[in-house]
Chains A and B, each alone.
Chain A
Amino acid sequence: MSEVILKAESLSKTYSLNKRKIPALSNVNLKVNKGEFVAIMGPSGSGKTTLLNVLGCLDKPTGGKVILDEVDIANLPESELCKIRRNKIGFVFQTFNLLPYLSAVENVEIPMENTKKPKSERRKRARELLVLVGLAGREEHRPQRLSAGEQQRVAIARALANDPAIILADEPTGNLDTKNKYEIVRLLARLNIDRGTTVVMITHDSQVASHSERMLLLQDGKITKEKQGLHLAKKKLACPYCGSRIQPSDERCPNCRKNL
């Protein structure tokens, strides 16, 4: 039995709007194992982002428990939550959320700013991570000089900065064109296969979701369906164009010969 890294138990979240209670999440139970790649799917307003925010301690649940790396984070004070966000969680956002006045490498360094790592080591690690996400040579570029896909790569490198237990990605491909969409999801899949990084990804795109191991369907604040991912079930990647199996290190699809 593999180790559970993230667990939600009868999680609920209710928003109050003009004294009316609007339930966003009701009685959500889920488990994410270490090294797993989970996709959460669902239509708009189904509570996907709320769930991710609660799991990532950006928001507090109204009821239930969130256990991350054996710690119940649902009711921790803000001072503890910020440490957990810094050290245990890496966030990837739909709109990248890079700081426009900092270079790529500086953006990757930010999460390490409040750690004890010396400056030189932070810079070194940031450069390594940028190489890892395929941005060698682009380290000094500011976000506005990078393409959308490249910006999301910087954001992924930033999420990896403090070597988190889990990466929470909220619609990471939502603002990208088809080519970049697959590149980014394949990058996440590669990180998952090669480095064993646990990834929880929200998406409404079933093509993107199919890159995961396990897909959860969220509807009206409840998990209604769970199914195996098409391609990652056996730690294998599939070509986004023809669907045939590929290796993580492949640069071209062995079947259709398209660049990956």
Chain B
Amino acid sequence: MANQSSTQSLVENFDDRITEMQEEINQTSTLIECQTASGGYAFSGGPPSGADFTPGEPPSGDFPMIGIRQETFMNETTVNEISSIEGIKDVIPFFEASSSENTTSTISGPGGRTFTISRPLYTISGVSLNASLIDTYQTPPTNITAGRNLAEGDSQVLVMSQNLTDYFGVDIGDQVQINGESFTIVGICDQAGEVQAEARTVYMDISDAQRVTDNIGNMSSLDIYAQDISYVDGIAEAIEVTYSDLRVTTYNDRLSQLQDMQTSYEETLTNAESTLSQTQAIATQEIIVAVAATSLIILFVMLYTVRERTKEIGTLKAIGFSNWNVMSQFMLEGVLLSLIAGVAGIAIGSIGAPFLSGLLLPSLNSFGSSGRFQSNSQYGYQPTDSGLLRAGVAAAVPTAQLMLLGLAVAVLLGALGSLYPAWRASRTRPAEAMRYE
């Protein structure tokens, strides 16, 4: 039950984001994104080699993962050549590079797995501070929460994301060292609303960024705006033909990317759901078999007991027990027996269920920790974002409600299974029972 609502909210969150991105894509139909080979993080890692990893079993232990930012750039000549392609309205250059400082974080997963992720501490982002570009395309960061944003003519100043000011313990007006150069913090921006909630970035003028990272004249990506949508495909083709190492993304690409993502998300979800419903169907069958078997076992045990104690029943009746006395005695015995069994069953279940679900659930958890979403830094879903991961583990622990239900079922089955034997016992004719040896 907890499981389903978590899945539900996960689906809703995802649907909201899809809608949001759809709108974003629609608003920027003339945008052609042009990036060097990769702008994102690539995580590499896996179970430690030579560790106790057996195929088919959930691996446990530490998973060191290293986030490497692929730092390839395009030079000024390339940028100038691209800018001269026909039909282009504006070209907005961006520069992004990793800090030389690294940070390590640990995420714990199911089955005692831990993921140690090592990655650059922050990103140095250089934006064009041309006044007309700022006005038209909002090149500097959004969500300024304190201080001011970057403006034309700024130099040796920066806007820092909230995460990073918290991390360094600095505030507006403070001087910080970026790769050995001194910068003044003029503004703080909030990135909490973004998908990558933990993003840490310093924003500065593009030429400052190029200089401190030793990349004068280099660019990471270009946002190219066509004069109108009819030029988009032509421009994209022209770039791709000449510069095969550049990744060009147009409106259509982004749309199909989004659709792919949605499809694969839905597939994963459907798989997870069908696995879940299959498991539930099997569980239901097993419950029916267990209930039937239990009733029969109680029936036979009690029938045997009654047979075994025929003489005792005869004696009890001879010394004044009524049919009802005998019947209630045997019913009570059956109920008590199954109550004890119920308590034992709950004890075993409480200990065994988390253990067993640990073996079973990795197939479901692959949804949460799948690399598919993670590696895409732009729309990245971190393992910690997955509600399913936690919900799956939580669902395997029997709740108090479930335990009470189990006890009630045990008592009911006990009563049901001993009804006939008890009735038979009560009907025993004492004279016959006494003869029974």
Listed in ascending order, the chain A residues whose CB lies under 8 Å from chain B are: 53, 56, 58-59, 78-79, 82-83, 85-87, 90-91, 93, 97, 99, 110-111, 114, 158-159, 162
Q: Is the CB of B323 within 8 A of A53?
A: no
What's the least CB distance linking A100 to chain B, in Å? 9
Q: Are A58 and B321 in contact (CB under 8 A)?
A: no
Whether, in the assembled complex, B429 has its beta carbon less than 8 Å from a beta carbon of chain A, the answer is yes
Complex contact A56–B318 (CB within 8 A): yes
Please list the 3 inter-chain residue pairs (A to B) with the smallest Cβ-Cβ separation, ordered nearest first.
A86-B320, A59-B431, A97-B315
Given A53-B431, A97-B315, decide whether A87 and B322 contact each other with a Cβ distance below 8 A: no
Q: Report the minimal beta-carbon distance from A199 to chain B, rounded to whole angstroms.
A: 16
Q: Which residues of B contact A162 (CB under 8 A)?
A: 320
Whether a CB of chain A sits under 8 angstroms from the CB of B42 is: no
Does chain A have a CB within 8 A of B312? yes
**Per a CB cutoff under 8 Å, which of A59, A79, A85, A158 touches B429?**
A59
- Let me know if B320 and A58 touch, CB within 8 A: no
| B434 near A110: Cβ-Cβ < 8 Å | no
Assuming the A-B contacts A78-B323, A162-B320, are A58 and B315 also in contact, with contact meaning beta carbons closer than 8 angstroms in the complex?
Answer: no
Among B312, B315, B322, B434, contact of A82 (Cβ-Cβ < 8 Å): B322
Q: Which chain B residues (301-335) contact chain A, with CB distance < 8 Å?
A: 311-312, 314-323, 325
B319 & A110 in contact (Cβ 8 Å cutoff):
yes
Contact A82 B431 (CB under 8 A): no
B329 CB, min distance to chain A CBs, angstroms = 10
Q: List 9 A-B contacts (CB under 8 A).
A: A79-B323, A86-B319, A86-B321, A90-B319, A97-B314, A97-B434, A111-B320, A114-B320, A114-B322
Residues of B within 8 A of A78 (CB): 322-323
CB pair B325 A114 closer than 8 Å:
yes
Contacts of B431 in A (CB 8 A): 53, 58-59
A88 CB to nearest chain B CB (Å): 10
Q: How far is the CA of A158 from the CA of B319 in the complex (A)?
A: 9
Complex CA–CA separation, A243 to B431 (angstroms): 37
Task: Flag if A82 contacts B321 (CB, 8 Å).
Answer: yes
Give every chain A residue within 8 A of B430 (Cβ-Cβ). 53, 58-59
Which residue on A lies nearest to B435, using beta carbons? A49
Q: Kindly list chain B residues whose C-beta atoms are within 8 Å of the C-beta of A158.
A: 319
Q: For residue A111, which residue of chain B has the nearest CB? A: B319
Q: Which one of A79, A85, A87, A159 lies within 8 Å of B317 (CB-CB)?
A: A85
Query: Which residue of B is nearest A85, CB measured?
Result: B320
| Separation of A110 and B321 alpha carbons in the complex (Å) | 9
A87 to B322, CA, bound (A): 12
A23 CA to B311 CA in the complex, in Å?
25
Minimum distance in angstroms from B230 CB to a CB of chain A? 98
B211 → chain A, closest Cβ, in Å?
95
- Considering the chains assembled together, what is the distance between the CA atoms of A87 and B320 in angstroms? 7
A85 touches B319 (CB 8 A): yes
**Please, which residues of chain A bring their CB within 8 A of the CB of B322?**
78-79, 82-83, 114
Q: Say yes or no: A91 contacts B318, CB within 8 Å.
A: yes
CA distance A110 to B325 in the complex (A): 12
Closest to B316 in A: A110
In the bound complex, CA of A159 to CA of B319 (Å): 8
User: Which residue of B312, B318, B321 contacts A114 across the interface (Cβ within 8 Å)?
Assistant: B321
CB A69 to nearest CB in B, in angstroms, measures 15
B314: A residues at CB distance < 8 A: 97
In the complex, which residue of chain A has the Cβ closest to the Cβ of B426? Answer: A78
A93 touching B321 by the CB < 8 A rule?
Answer: no
The answer on a CB contact under 8 Å between A97 and B311 is: yes
CA distance A91 to B319 in the complex (A): 7
Query: Which residues from A are CB-within-8-Å of B434?
Result: 53, 58, 93, 97
Determine the distance from Cα of A93 to Cα of B317 in the docked complex, in whole angstroms.
13
Q: How far is the CA of A180 from the CA of B317 in the complex (A)?
A: 27
